[in-house]
Amino acid sequence: MSVDLSLMDKSQVARLFDFSVLPKESSEAEIRKGCALTRQYGFGAYCLSSGYWVPLVAGELSDCPDIKVGAAISFPWGAVPAAVKAFETEDAVRKGATTLDMAMNVGALKSGRYDDVLGEFRDFVAASGGMETKVILEVCFLTDEEIATACKLIAEVGIQFAKTSSGQFEGPSLEQFLVMKGTLEGTLVKLKVAGVKFPRPQNAYAFIQAGADRIGTRAAPEIVDALDQLRDLGLVPRRALTTMST
């Protein structure tokens, strides 16, 4: 297990979350409210569905260097040409994005067009300019074998995170996540879970205890706020009290 929740307080737990405001109808007021919540909780990142609001968010959080500004690339479908994804990535980075979540071309993978998938991954990394990179698999559309194949391609290219889902379709099962974890064991690739199902607090902490390095969700405030209650119920571990013998 890469994260020991028993050793973490709420501020440390908040760093495990990419707070995500993704609905296409999100207004400027809602984006700014998300900035305020991100600052209040100290989340690891504030992620958006495109690069459009990135300049606003980068400006709002300019005095919070530890909080990444996230943009999704080709979200949520991932079916555009690799060159379009690369341009969108470069544009988001120019505007201030420091972490990037790209939707994989699911149809290309399922068609066995692995060279095309590798190509878009390589173009994505090159276009990222050294910023944090994540690839969204959308595991609800994949067999376990296809999940494993996608993870191997991610590791081959050196993407930093394999991400389960966009959160716009059916979320991942624990079994699908464990396929990703098992495939990537021994590599440098980290694991991000999105699309956590209800009840979100319990399920989010279950994924973290199963090995997730990051959770992406709009429910991040609710999940962090639930930490003490879930510890009291024994669903999340707390630091064991030690006594000294005399």
Which residues are known to be catalytic? 101, 163, 192
CA distance 103 to 78: 4
Pair of tokens at residue 120: 């878009």
Alpha helices, DSSP H, located in the chain: 10-14, 28-41, 54-60, 82-95, 106-110, 114-127, 144-157, 174-184, 200-210, 220-225, 227-232
CA distance 63 to 70: 16
CA distance 142 to 163: 13
Three-class secondary structure of residue 35 per DSSP: helix
CA distance 158 to 148: 15
Pair of tokens at residue 8: 């973490």
